[in-house]
Amino acid sequence: MNRIEGGCLCGAVRYEITQSPMGAGACHCRACQYASGGGPNYVALIPKNGFKVTRGAPKRFTRPGGSGADVTRVFCGECGTPLWSEGAMPFLPVKVGGFDDPSALEPGIHLWTSAAPPWHPIGPGRPTFPENPPMS
């Protein structure tokens, strides 16, 4: 895997990814709509030990997620760009829009489609779940 680099709009926060993404997806829950400024939140799932901040100190905001567990949303304190989320998972959902080249990843799954606005199309052929997928 080639290294993936990314960061915020103003350049105050930069990061690098040195392990292959575990997958990519889109979350349509209301919290993600707020964080994205409209539609779903497109993320790549990155193993925590394959992610490193290389510049800056982002800000954090924590609140309960759809599962009831706390989710911390990480963003640039200067320009407000949403960057990644933190929680109890062994991976980080990193916002694909912050990648220097986001074109290589396509969502493989859509979550919380019950909250998707009717004007946001969800393409056919990908697994969809009205909330979180079953944990089995």
Does residue 80 fall inside a structural domain?
yes
- The backbone torsions φ and ψ at residue 68, rounded to the nearest 5 degrees and listed phi first, read 100, -20
Does residue 136 fall inside a structural domain?
no
> Looking at residue 136, what is its pLDDT?
61
CA atoms within 13 A on the CB side of 58: 25
16 lies in which domain range?
4-115
Does residue 105 fall inside a structural domain?
yes
Two structure tokens written together for 12: 């105050």
Does residue 63 fall inside a structural domain?
yes
Token pair 């779903």 in the structure block, residue: 40
Does residue 124 fall inside a structural domain?
no
Does residue 128 fall inside a structural domain?
no
DSSP-derived secondary structure letter, 7: E
The tens-digit pLDDT sequence of the chain (136 residues) is 688 999 999 999 999 999 999 999 999 988 888 888 888 989 999 999 999 999 999 999 998 876 677 889 999 999 999 999 998 788 999 999 999 998 878 888 898 999 999 898 888 888 888 888 877 6
pTM of the model: 0.87
Does residue 10 fall inside a structural domain?
yes
Does residue 78 fall inside a structural domain?
yes
Assign residue 96 the CATH number of its domain.
2.170.150.70
Q: Give how many domains the chain has, as a whole number.
A: 1
> Looking at residue 78, what is its pLDDT?
96
